[in-house]
Amino acid sequence: MKSPNNQYNIIQEIMEKTEAEIQKMSPVNILIAGKTGVGKSTLINSVFREKLADTGIGKPVTKHLRRITKEGIPIVLYDTRGLELEQSVQKQVKKEIYKLVEDNKQTKEAIHAVYYCIQANSSRIEDTEIELIKDISKILPVILVLTQSIGKPAEEFSRYLENINLPVAAVQNIMAEPYEISDDYVIPAFGLKELIDKTLQLIPKETRDAFMNAQHADIERKAKSARRWATRYVATTFGVGFAPIPFSDASVLVPMQVTLLAHITAIFGISLDKSTIVSLIAAVGGTGSATMIGKSIVANAFKFIPGAGTIVGGIISGTTASIVTSALAISYIEVLSIIATKEKEGQGIDLSLIEKLMRNQFKKNMTLNRKELKAKELEFENDSALSEAYEDYSEMEEETKKVPFVKKITKAIQKFFTRKK
């Protein structure tokens, strides 16, 4: 633990541990194949975060294969460029893919799966393409991705492909982006979550964390994955035999909570900067000081529980510590889900609102008992926790728009100087 005099030591440690968690992940490597113009770039940008097809570094590895990577994202994509139906080109591409697979066997660069993209509305697949798919399927698991799947023809084409018994792992219809039919009617994006699910079933277990970090098509799955991990971590850390600690020494919780928050951040794979983490920690009463954050979080937690004030100043049991830490973890996951959703939608976040949301969620979650915390669902549907958090944030955004700009600036300046003290 760094010096407690450094205001940002806890924040810096969360960021460093998050980076270390990502570095430990076994990267996932996926080949994206298909003819020019079938929507491969749109697929990549819709499935993976930070618009990889546009912002990732694309390095040619062969005449027809381009390697796409980006710092901080544990995934490597190989894109087939200029794949047309001429037999000579098909033969060359197949040769390059075979060599790529062979050269990278038993290494971190080993290819784990293939997305073979076909435009669904074409409703046709050439014999040469069938031959290529069969050949690739002999060495790698292939998912046929039917892009721009609009209407009944796309469904019929999918059934046709399944009926000809191609040796592929799955066939998946998708609409990577909403499709506008008219000013009054838009077909929403669909099929991406199913593609995520099928991919996770195919790739090796050790690469699933990396894939979860890299994908942003299914935020709910990230939240559930983080929730499962946090539940196991809290149960292990604060299980039977956790030594009771005096409230005055509550800072011993800090290393555990730092590890918890860092691992959750790594699962989500969103670009949290220092100021965002400061806001989230400040929301539950913590500061950057190692000697204060544990006590602050515990003290603020008890503010939300009627009649619990007598515990403060006394002994914190393993059960108490686990409830506080579980509430912290769940609240953090809920807020990161909102941030990830906004990032996916290309929208910025208001730090003051994120801080307020974190405070509100922590207060709500601290009123739950241990059993309720463990059973809490995290889904973006059916009036569940994530939906409610998203609605709360949206309402706060609307309310903020009504506040005069000068008043908002004045409040922000006052808040800044108050924190400095």
Whether 257 is in a domain gets the answer yes
Whether 52 is in a domain gets the answer yes
**Under 8 Å between Cβ of 248 and 348:** no
Quote the pLDDT of residue 374: 80
Whether 2 is in a domain gets the answer no
Same domain, 293 and 319: yes
- Residue 196 scores a pLDDT above 50: yes
pLDDT bucket at 3, cuts 50 / 70 / 90: very low
Same domain, 317 and 369: yes
345 vs 97: CA distance, rounded Å: 34
pLDDT bucket at 415, cuts 50 / 70 / 90: low
Same domain, 165 and 257: no
pLDDT bucket at 4, cuts 50 / 70 / 90: very low
Same domain, 226 and 84: no
Name the more confident of 228 and 283: 228
Same domain, 187 and 237: no
pLDDT bucket at 82, cuts 50 / 70 / 90: low
Q: Is the dihedral of CA 43, 164, 159, 154 positive or negative?
A: positive
Quote the pLDDT of residue 49: 93
Buried b (16+ CB within 10 A) or exposed e, 378-394: bebeeeebbeebbebbe
- Percent over 70 (pLDDT), the chain: 83
Task: From 310, 307, 323, select the one nearest 365 (Cα to Cα).
Answer: 323
Q: Which of 156, 172, 203 is the last residue of a domain?
A: 203
pLDDT bucket at 244, cuts 50 / 70 / 90: confident
pLDDT in tens, 133-173: 999 999 999 999 999 999 899 999 999 999 999 999 999 99
Tokens describing residue 144: 């046929």
Q: How many domains does the chain have?
A: 2
Q: Range of 403's domain? A: 9-20+219-420
Same domain, 235 and 379: yes
pLDDT in tens, 20-48: 999 999 999 999 999 888 999 999 999 99
Quote the pLDDT of residue 92: 86
Q: Which of 161, 176, 203 is the last residue of a domain?
A: 203
298 vs 238: CA distance, rounded Å: 15
Query: Coil, strand or helix: which one is 139?
Result: coil
E strand map for 120-258: 142-147, 170-173, 179-180, 186-187, 245-246
Q: How many residues does the chain have?
A: 421
- For the chain, the average pLDDT equals 84
226 vs 264: CA distance, rounded Å: 6
Name the more confident of 309 and 138: 138
Quote the pLDDT of residue 414: 55
Q: Is the dihedral of CA 367, 369, 370, 375 positive or negative?
A: negative
206 vs 213: CA distance, rounded Å: 13
Same domain, 183 and 87: yes
Quote the pLDDT of residue 233: 92
- Percent over 90 (pLDDT), the chain: 50
CA dihedral in degrees (165, 39, 64, 204; nearest 10)?
-60
233 vs 238: CA distance, rounded Å: 8
pLDDT bucket at 240, cuts 50 / 70 / 90: low
Same domain, 186 and 242: no
**Under 8 Å between Cβ of 397 and 350:** yes
Same domain, 134 and 237: no
- Residue 420 scores a pLDDT above 90: no
CA distances in angstroms from 97 to 83, 124, 139, listed in the order given: 12, 24, 10
pLDDT in tens, 292-307: 566 667 767 666 665 5
Same domain, 13 and 54: no
Same domain, 113 and 185: yes
